[in-house]
Amino acid sequence: MIRHIVFFTARQAEDVGEIQRLLDRLGDIPHALAFEIAANARIDPIGNEIDIVVYGEFADEAALAAWKAHPIYDETTQAVRPLRELRYSADFRSSLR
Protein backbone atom coordinates (compact mmCIF):
# COMPACT_ATOMS: atom_id res chain seq x y z
CA MET A 1 0.00 0.00 0.00
CA ILE A 2 1.14 3.54 -0.78
CA ARG A 3 0.32 6.28 1.69
CA HIS A 4 0.25 9.78 0.19
CA ILE A 5 0.48 12.72 2.59
CA VAL A 6 0.61 16.37 1.55
CA PHE A 7 0.93 19.41 3.82
CA PHE A 8 -0.15 22.89 2.74
CA THR A 9 0.22 26.38 4.11
CA ALA A 10 -1.96 29.21 2.87
CA ARG A 11 -0.53 32.48 1.60
CA GLN A 12 -3.21 34.27 3.61
CA ALA A 13 -5.00 32.91 6.67
CA GLU A 14 -8.41 33.79 5.25
CA ASP A 15 -7.82 31.37 2.34
CA VAL A 16 -7.46 28.23 4.48
CA GLY A 17 -11.18 27.37 4.23
CA GLU A 18 -11.20 27.90 0.46
CA ILE A 19 -8.11 25.74 -0.03
CA GLN A 20 -9.66 23.00 2.06
CA ARG A 21 -12.91 23.23 0.08
CA LEU A 22 -11.03 23.00 -3.22
CA LEU A 23 -8.87 20.08 -2.07
CA ASP A 24 -11.94 18.21 -0.87
CA ARG A 25 -12.84 17.76 -4.53
CA LEU A 26 -9.93 15.31 -4.84
CA GLY A 27 -12.11 12.85 -2.93
CA ASP A 28 -14.28 12.51 -6.05
CA ILE A 29 -11.41 10.88 -7.93
CA PRO A 30 -11.48 7.07 -8.00
CA HIS A 31 -8.44 4.90 -7.21
CA ALA A 32 -8.00 5.85 -3.53
CA LEU A 33 -8.70 3.21 -0.88
CA ALA A 34 -9.00 5.99 1.70
CA PHE A 35 -8.92 9.75 1.31
CA GLU A 36 -9.19 12.62 3.76
CA ILE A 37 -8.64 16.38 3.94
CA ALA A 38 -8.30 18.00 7.35
CA ALA A 39 -7.20 21.22 8.98
CA ASN A 40 -4.10 20.85 11.11
CA ALA A 41 -5.23 20.33 14.71
CA ARG A 42 -2.07 22.18 15.88
CA ILE A 43 -1.53 19.83 18.82
CA ASP A 44 2.25 19.51 18.50
CA PRO A 45 3.95 22.18 20.63
CA ILE A 46 6.95 22.50 18.30
CA GLY A 47 5.71 22.86 14.74
CA ASN A 48 2.26 24.12 13.85
CA GLU A 49 2.92 26.01 10.63
CA ILE A 50 0.97 23.59 8.43
CA ASP A 51 -2.64 24.61 7.73
CA ILE A 52 -4.10 21.65 5.81
CA VAL A 53 -3.28 17.95 5.51
CA VAL A 54 -4.21 15.69 2.59
CA TYR A 55 -4.08 11.95 3.30
CA GLY A 56 -4.67 9.14 0.83
CA GLU A 57 -4.10 5.41 0.67
CA PHE A 58 -3.57 3.63 -2.64
CA ALA A 59 -3.17 -0.05 -3.49
CA ASP A 60 0.06 0.63 -5.37
CA GLU A 61 2.03 3.21 -7.33
CA ALA A 62 -0.11 2.64 -10.42
CA ALA A 63 -3.27 3.57 -8.49
CA LEU A 64 -1.61 6.75 -7.17
CA ALA A 65 -0.44 7.63 -10.68
CA ALA A 66 -3.95 7.06 -12.08
CA TRP A 67 -5.40 9.28 -9.34
CA LYS A 68 -2.93 12.06 -10.21
CA ALA A 69 -3.67 11.67 -13.93
CA HIS A 70 -7.39 12.35 -13.44
CA PRO A 71 -8.63 15.74 -14.78
CA ILE A 72 -10.03 16.74 -11.36
CA TYR A 73 -6.51 16.49 -9.93
CA ASP A 74 -5.14 18.97 -12.49
CA GLU A 75 -8.11 21.33 -12.07
CA THR A 76 -7.70 21.28 -8.30
CA THR A 77 -3.96 21.85 -8.49
CA GLN A 78 -4.45 24.85 -10.76
CA ALA A 79 -7.07 26.35 -8.43
CA VAL A 80 -5.09 25.80 -5.20
CA ARG A 81 -1.62 26.80 -6.41
CA PRO A 82 -2.18 30.59 -6.29
CA LEU A 83 -3.66 30.35 -2.77
CA ARG A 84 -0.98 28.22 -1.15
CA GLU A 85 2.44 29.19 0.07
CA LEU A 86 4.11 25.84 0.73
CA ARG A 87 3.37 22.28 -0.31
CA TYR A 88 5.23 19.33 1.17
CA SER A 89 4.48 15.85 -0.12
CA ALA A 90 5.52 12.38 0.96
CA ASP A 91 4.67 8.97 -0.45
CA PHE A 92 5.72 5.80 1.29
CA ARG A 93 5.08 2.09 1.16
CA SER A 94 3.31 0.80 4.23
CA SER A 95 2.68 -2.74 5.40
CA LEU A 96 0.13 -1.60 8.03
CA ARG A 97 -3.50 -2.37 7.35
Domain boundaries, the chain: 2-41+51-93
When pLDDT is averaged across residues 5-32 and rounded to a whole number, the result is: 97
Assigned CATH class of 2-41+51-93: alpha beta
Q: What is the bridge-based pairing of β-strands 84-93 and 2-10? A: antiparallel
Bridge partners, residue 10, by sequence: 84
pLDDT of residue 93: 94
Q: What is the bridge-based pairing of β-strands 32-39 and 52-58? A: antiparallel
pLDDT of residue 42: 92
Question: pLDDT-based confidence at 95, cuts 50/70/90?
Answer: confident
When pLDDT is averaged across residues 29-33 and rounded to a whole number, the result is: 96
Question: pLDDT-based confidence at 83, cuts 50/70/90?
Answer: very high
Compute the distance between CA of residue 51 and CA of residue 73 in angstroms, rounded to an integer.
Answer: 20
Question: pLDDT-based confidence at 13, cuts 50/70/90?
Answer: very high
Four-point Cα dihedral 4, 37, 71, 9, nearest 10: -80
Provide the 3-class DSSP secondary structure of residue 63. Answer: helix
